[in-house]
Amino acid sequence: MLPLIKTSIPDRKILMPRLEEVLYSGYVAQGEAVELFERKFEGYIGGGHTLSLNSGTAALHIALILAGVKEGDEVISTALTAEPTNVAIKMVGAKIRWADVDYKTGNISVTTIEKVINAKTKAIIVVDYAGIPVDVKGIKALSEKYKIPVIEDAAHALGAKYKGKKAGNHFPFTVYSFQAIKHLTTIDGGALQILDSELYEKGKVIRWFGLDKKLTRMDNNISFQGYKYHMNNVNATIGLVQLENIESVVQSYIDNGKYFDEKLKDVNGVELIEYYQDSEPSYWLYTMKVENREGFIKMMADNGIMASELHKRNDLHSFLNDYPSELPNLDLFYSKMVHIPCGWWVTNEDREKMIDLIKKGW
């Protein structure tokens, strides 16, 4: 079965000597490797300050804290995402207010965001779902109009661009996941890209129990809640090896995605995703809308290819559904949405086979 998602690990001849070096160095906790990984990742993103963490969820949590979200506040979000996006909102004691999606893209709708903004709204989370950039221009205009900070969840969108700049350059806070199946994995881990240098310094203190690592333990004075969210040297070393080849890995997703975009145009029963002007997806998943999704998934499985909607819409989780809402665009989009394999493991033969199968119908 051709998998929908797959972990990318460097060749053992390259990775293992580097891992052995750090494992037997006598220092496997947060240290020089973590610092180096952060600076190298900043170079890849092309801006901002990288706060490496032990998960993308930790990055979301710290972003919400730095955005000033507190218990009883509201955060506008999307129900079309992996659960951590919205679980993190509950971690700060805030409530989730749903915005609908744009049916053309599946991403959060600027128009609907504006409709649900109220006096309790303290942040907006936007998700580059499946590697498709959000409406950066529209969301930035809305953020400036209402003075509400935006947190971009780019867990699916490493390498995605708007106006030639990668995600991580457009909003105050951008969240990345380095969990096992993402474009770049550190086995588990994440990062928060922060544009403001002062907030970055505060983020470093939150990451480590509220302690400032620039001071000794005896000279520290914890003045706010911190957490044990740091990355360690072992994960960072894996990340450093991954970064050496990340451009080609991400490009393989993009090449496959563009191939599907071209070959699936005007195919009966298929409706392609539209992309916002000046945006470039990184295609963590290849997403499309199909008629008779169950039949489509079965047909692909019968031919050795995994296809799936993958994520449960988050408003179906009772814990996350603070304000049950009518989301007609999501209802329609989700009823048709399906993903097919698009990553580095998909060969030319694989993608040609998928196109032939889809064109034959289901």
Residues annotated as catalytic (active site), given as ranges: 182
Can you list the alpha helix ranges (DSSP code H) found in the chain?
12-23, 32-45, 56-66, 84-91, 110-116, 136-146, 197-207, 233-243, 246-263, 293-302, 328-336, 348-360
Radius of gyration of the chain (CA): 21
User: Which residue type is seen at 102?
Assistant: D
Distance CA 142, CA 345 (A): 39
Q: Within a 13 Å sphere around the CA of 75, how many CA atoms are in the beta-carbon half?
A: 35
What DSSP line would sit under 227-263, residue for residue? -B----HHHHHHHHHHHTTHHHHHHHHHHHHHHHHHH
121-127 and 150-153 strand pairing: parallel
Structure tokens at 31: 């240290």
Q: Within a 13 Å sphere around the CA of 65, how many CA atoms are in the beta-carbon half?
A: 22
Torsion of CA 62, 66, 72, 78, to 10 degrees: -70
150-153 and 161-162 strand pairing: unpaired
Q: Cα dihedral sign for 76, 80, 81, 84?
A: positive
Distance CA 33, CA 36 (A): 5
Distance CA 26, CA 14 (A): 21
Distance CA 331, CA 88 (A): 24
Torsion angles phi and psi, residue 165, rounded to 5: -110, 135
Torsion angles phi and psi, residue 173, rounded to 5: -135, 130
